[in-house]
């Protein structure tokens, strides 16, 4: 009999505040696409890092092609034919896409050959990338593409993918699945982590389910339903949000004829963007990452101060030259798509990270102006409890949380501020189905309480579930709005290519 491509036996990994993996075992055959499913904090990412050599287990062993392997670092993992696409990216900001990929390969390849292979592989997989573009100018979705292409260029025997489709369009997901099946047909094994149950059921032939750091079951996902997989993963089915139309009120945020050139040669210029966001409604913006979302969000949040006068107004007041702090005072809060670095400072505690946008609620007024440590910790603890964030308490560092749990904390911090206007980028990126349902429910409740909300997401299912109206952004231009009830996935998919009529229904 053929030996398993990968075998994990009785692996345990403990941290000071949590047991991340407890006696975990799984087996992956050559050419098998194997899902690892679990809620945020279940131990999936820790297990993948152990297999990839980025984390050392306290107990247990890993076998590759039937041979016990002490994988001490990612370089040794790559030498064994193991590649991984992390959920939190590992890219150098100041060099180009091609240089980042080149640094992850052995020195037998020249930079020029890597540049050519990168462009070829990106075209082959439908992942739009410019090899000479600096990484610091890329959106989250574009950075994910870099990670995927870098892994594919190593011609792996075992490919680990952590949330690979979170920022891809339905068309791109379909093309990626075709490619993954082709890879599997050549004998490459794939470990696939995703919270999208439909994807797992469509793509994978085996699924290991984890909860609380332990394996709770192994099933064939093709014979399961979304409901049964949810029960295995979180012990219950996520709540369903019944669609209903909101009663929109006055204009809260207005963008008028916003055009803005980009100083970045690889950036996206904004062209004549106009839309209104009203009190008590959620407006969604769909689109393929890298089509102007980053530039538009910078203008709306106040991080980009070059917007023309009169182009951005908040409750009738011109905000085009105002910064983020003043906009927060006027009731506008913002959740960026980058969790670590912008949404939270990695080395700061969760309590300290609440000060980034909630300082006026917990800092004494002048002349004292002192931070109140107890009040700060209490506010962080309230966010942790309300949004069921798995963390070691308010003093846990942001970088110690899983991606999904950090996302819940950041979104909870802004929702808890009771904003008048909330702008959210990728609200449920990388969170499990239960947490996604909770976040969406909180957003809907905030809308019903009178908040005006703009949601920028590549998750079409999410936009269709919570939004009252939709726009699509493509190449720096914004489509007309369309009521969600009149839209379809096929139509929005066409609009993502810039193919819309200006006479589309509003």
Task: Tell me the per-residue pLDDT of 99-117, one tens digit each, with 9 for 90 and over.
Answer: 999 987 777 889 999 999 9
Burial level of 170, CB count in 10 A (0-12/13-18/19+)? Answer: middle
Report the C-alpha gap between 71 and 52 in whole angstroms: 7
The pLDDT value recorded for residue 285 is 97
Q: Using one digit for the tens of pLDDT, what is the confidence trace for 376-431?
A: 999 999 999 999 898 889 999 998 887 778 989 999 999 999 999 999 998 987 77
Report the C-alpha gap between 313 and 317 in whole angstroms: 5
**Count of C-beta atoms within a 10 Å radius of residue 276:** 18
In order of 128, 160, 181, 190, 334, the CA distances from 125 in angstroms are: 9, 17, 12, 16, 33
Report the C-alpha gap between 503 and 492 in whole angstroms: 15
Decide if 207 contacts 200 (C-beta within 8 A).
yes
Query: To the nearest 10°, the Cα dihedral for 22, 27, 32, 36?
Result: -10
- Domain ranges in the chain with CATH number 3.40.50.300: 6-234, 242-330+453-506, 332-418
Report the C-alpha gap between 40 and 47 in whole angstroms: 13
Strand ranges (DSSP E) for 70-220?
A: 82-85, 158-162, 189-193, 206-211, 214-219
Of the candidate CATH numbers 3.40.30.10, 3.40.50.300, 3.20.20.70, 3.40.1440.10, the domain formed by 332-418 belongs to 3.40.50.300
Report the C-alpha gap between 180 and 390 in whole angstroms: 32
The pLDDT value recorded for residue 505 is 47
The pLDDT value recorded for residue 32 is 96
In order of 51, 187, 194, the CA distances from 207 in angstroms are: 17, 18, 11
Structure letter (DSSP) for residue 250: S
> β-pairing, 206-211 with 214-219?
antiparallel
Query: To the nearest 10°, the Cα dihedral for 43, 49, 54, 60?
Result: 70
pLDDT band, residue 28 (cuts 50/70/90): very high
pLDDT band, residue 446 (cuts 50/70/90): very high
Report the C-alpha gap between 230 and 37 in whole angstroms: 9
| Percent of the chain whose pLDDT exceeds 70 | 93
Residue 495 CB contacts under 8 Å (≥ 6 apart), including other chains: 286, 472, 474, 479
The pLDDT value recorded for residue 502 is 62
Cis peptide leading into residue 34 (ω within 30°): no
Query: Does the structural domain 242-330+453-506 have CATH classification 3.40.50.300?
Result: yes
Average pLDDT of span 146-158:
88
Q: Is the dihedral of CA 287, 292, 294, 299 positive or negative?
A: negative
The pLDDT value recorded for residue 208 is 95
Strands of the sheet with 317-318, listed across from one edge: 270-278, 251-260, 312-314, 317-318
The tokens describing 90, both together, are 């590992």
Report the C-alpha gap between 277 and 19 in whole angstroms: 45
| Fold assignment, 6-234 | Rossmann fold (3.40.50)
pTM over 0.75: no
Nearest to 162 by CA among 246, 222, 85, 92: 85
The tokens describing 147, both together, are 């990670």
Report the C-alpha gap between 171 and 238 in whole angstroms: 27
The pLDDT value recorded for residue 256 is 96
Cα end-to-end span (Å), the chain: 61
Average pLDDT of span 458-486:
92
Decide if 11 contacts 68 (C-beta within 8 A).
no
Strands of the sheet with 6-15, listed across from one edge: 18-28, 6-15, 59-64, 67-69
């Amino acid at each position: 009999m053929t030996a398993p491509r990968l075998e994990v036996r009785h692996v345990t990994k403990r941290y000071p505040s949590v047991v991340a993996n407890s006696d975990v075992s799984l087996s992956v055959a050559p050419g098998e696409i194997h899902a690892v499913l679990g809620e945020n904090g279940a131990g999936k990412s820790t297990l993948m890092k152990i297999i990839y050599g980025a984390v050392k287990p306290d107990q247990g062993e890993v076998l590759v092609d039937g041979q016990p392997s002490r994988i001490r670092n990612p370089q040794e993992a790559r030498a064994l034919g193991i590649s991984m696409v992390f959920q939190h990216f590992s890219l150098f900001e100041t060099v180009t896409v091609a240089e980042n990929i080149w640094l992850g390969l052995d020195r037998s390849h020249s930079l020029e050959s890597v540049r050519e292979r990168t462009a070829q592989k990106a075209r082959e997989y439908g992942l739009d990338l410019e090899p000479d573009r600096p990484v610091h100018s890329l959106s989250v979705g574009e950075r994910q593409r870099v990670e995927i292409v870098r892994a594919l260029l190593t011609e792996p025997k075992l490919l680990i993918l952590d949330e690979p489709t979170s920022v891809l369009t339905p068309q791109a997901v379909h093309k990626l699945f075709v490619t993954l099946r082709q890879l599997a047909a050549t004998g490459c094994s794939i470990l696939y982590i995703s919270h999208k149950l439909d994807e797992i059921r469509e793509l994978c032939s085996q699924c290991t389910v984890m909860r609380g750091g332990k394996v709770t079951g192994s099933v064939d996902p093709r014979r399961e339903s979304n409901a049964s997989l949810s029960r295995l993963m979180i012990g219950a089915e996520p709540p369903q949000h019944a669609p209903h139309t909101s009663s929109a009120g006055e204009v809260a945020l207005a963008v008028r004829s916003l055009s803005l050139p980009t100083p970045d040669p690889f950036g996206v210029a904004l062209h004549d963007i106009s839309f209104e966001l009203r009190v008590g409604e959620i407006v969604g913006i769909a689109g393929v990452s890298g089509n102007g979302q980053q530039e538009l969000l910078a203008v709306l949040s106040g991080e980009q101060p070059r917007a023309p006068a009169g182009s951005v107004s908040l409750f009738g007041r011109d905000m085009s030259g105002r910064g983020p702090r003043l906009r927060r005072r006027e009731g506008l809060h913002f959740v960026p798509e980058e969790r670590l670095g912008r949404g939270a400072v990695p080395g700061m505690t969760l309590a300290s990270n609440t000060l980034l946008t909630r300082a006026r609620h917990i800092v004494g007024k002048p002349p004292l102006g002192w931070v109140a440590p107890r009040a700060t910790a209490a506010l962080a603890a309230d966010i942790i409890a309300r949004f069921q964030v798995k963390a070691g308490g308010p003093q846990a560092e942001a970088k110690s949380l899983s991606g999904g749990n950090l996302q819940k904390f950041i979104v909870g911090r802004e929702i808890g501020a009771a904003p008048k206007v909330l702008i959210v980028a990728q609200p449920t990126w990388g969170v499990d189905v239960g947490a996604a349902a909770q976040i969406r429910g909180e957003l809907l409740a905030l809308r019903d309480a009178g908040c005006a909300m703009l949601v920028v997401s590549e998750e079409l299912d999410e936009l269709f579930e919570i939004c009252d109206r939709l726009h699509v952004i493509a190449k720096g231009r914004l489509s007309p709005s369309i009521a969600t009830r009149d839209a379809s996935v096929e139509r929005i998919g066409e609009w993502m290519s810039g193919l819309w009529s200006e006479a589309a229904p509003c």
